[in-house]
Amino acid sequence: MAFQLDHLHTLVALVEEGTFEAAAQRLRVTASAVSQRVKAMEQAAGQVLIQRVNPVIPTAAGDIVLRHARQVQLLEGDVATELGAGLQPGGRTSLPLAVNADCLGTWFLDALAAVPADSGAVFDIYREDQEHTTSLLRSGTVMAAVTSTAEAVQGCSSVLLGSMRYRAVASPRFVDTWLGGVPGTSALDTAPMVNFDRRDDLQHRFLRGIGGRATDVPRHHIPTSADFARAVVLGLGWGLLPEQQCLTELGDGRLVELAPGHPTDVVLYWQRWNIASRLLDQVTDAVGRVAAASLHP
C-alpha cells in the first residue's frame, strides 16, 4: 500500500499535538481536513490507526504507520539538508529521542550540542526511565533512545555506551537525625529515601542488595534530576546520585557517602532505528563520543 506524503505528515502532527484541532493549527489546515486524511489512511491500511480519545493514541497498526511516517520525514530531512535547504525556515528535521532524567541532567545535552550545527535538526526529547525507553522505540514515537536494555528492539541496532555510576549519599544533618551520626547503611530500613517517581526502583534495588527491606521505607518523590539532588543535599532523604551530581558536594562536606567503595553502576546502551540516515549517524556519533568521555567503561 502507498500513503500520500501529506497524509503521513498529518499522522505525525496529530500524534505529537494530541488533538485534531491542534494538528490542524500546526499544519495550517482545518480539523476536518486532518480527520479526512486520517480516514483515508485507515481505508488504505484497512485498519483503525488512531483511537479518538483526548489526547489521541495510535493503535498497534497506527504505531507501525507512525514509524513509517517518521522514517519518511527523516529521509526527507536528509535530502533537504544535502540540497542546502535544511537551514531554511521550517526546513529543519525534528528528531525525537528518549533519554532518562539523569543522563539528560548530566552528559546528554553535551552530546546534542556536539552534533554539527549544519545538521538541520531540532531535537524532541522524551524523558523516560532507562528501563522503559525501548517501548517508545517499538511504538515509533522516537528514533533513538538511551536504554538499559542490551537486546536490540526489532528494526533497531544497539551499542554499548558505558556505565552510569551512582553513589548512595546523604547530608550530614540527615546522618545525625536518622543514622545516629554515623554514615552507613544499617539503619536505612527506616530512614526516608528520595525517589525520582513511582517507577524509580534504583534505591529499592540498592536496599535489597545490602540485605535491607524496601517495602515500608518512607519516601519522597521528586521528579526532576536537579531537584532530586537538591532534596538529598537539603536532608529530605538519602538517595543514589550520579557521580557527576555529587562529587563536588562530597568534596566540600555537603554530602557524605553511605557505602564507600560500593557504587551502583547502571549499564547504558544506545538503540537507534536501523535505517541509513546522515542525521541519525551524526547524532549517534556525537552520543558515542560524549558518552565515552562521561561514563565508566
In the chain, the DSSP E strands lie at: 50-51, 57-58, 93-99, 121-127, 144-147, 156-170, 193-195, 219-221, 239-242, 256-257, 264-273
Which is it for the CA torsion 15, 16, 20, 26, positive or negative?
negative
> Given this model, what pLDDT does residue 75 score?
86
Residues 112-150: tens digit of each pLDDT = 999 998 887 889 999 998 888 998 998 888 999 999 999
Average pLDDT over residues 228-239: 96
> Given this model, what pLDDT does residue 214 score?
58
> Given this model, what pLDDT does residue 167 score?
96
Q: Where are the domains of the chain?
A: 164-265
Distance CA 20, CA 14 (A): 6
**Which band of pLDDT confidence, cut at 50, 70 and 90, is reported for residue 295?**
very high
List 190's β-bridge partners, or say none. none
**DSSP letter for each residue of 154-166:** TTEEEEEEEEEEE
Residues 15-51: tens digit of each pLDDT = 989 999 999 999 999 999 999 999 999 999 999 999 9
Distance CA 73, CA 4 (A): 12
Q: Does domain 164-265 have CATH number 3.40.50.2300?
A: no
Please give the mean pLDDT across all residues of the chain.
90
**Ranges 74-78, 80-84, 223-227: which has the least confidence:** 80-84
> Given this model, what pLDDT does residue 213 score?
63
> Given this model, what pLDDT does residue 91 score?
57
Closest of 203, 211, 215 to residue 169, by C-alpha = 203
Which is it for the CA torsion 174, 178, 182, 184, positive or negative?
negative
Q: What percent of the chain has pLDDT over 90?
A: 69
Residues 178-233: tens digit of each pLDDT = 999 999 998 888 899 999 988 888 998 898 887 766 567 889 999 999 999 999 99
Exposure on the CB side of residue 161, measured as CA atoms within 13 A: 35
Burial 136-154 (b: 16+ CB within 10 A, else e): bbebbbbbbbbbbbeebbe
> Given this model, what pLDDT does residue 89 score?
44
Res 87 pLDDT > 50: no
Res 88 pLDDT > 70: no
- 144 in helix, strand or coil? strand
Q: Which residue has better confidence, 52 or 212?
A: 52
- This prediction has a pTM of 0.82
Q: Cell 535505517 sits at which residue?
A: 275
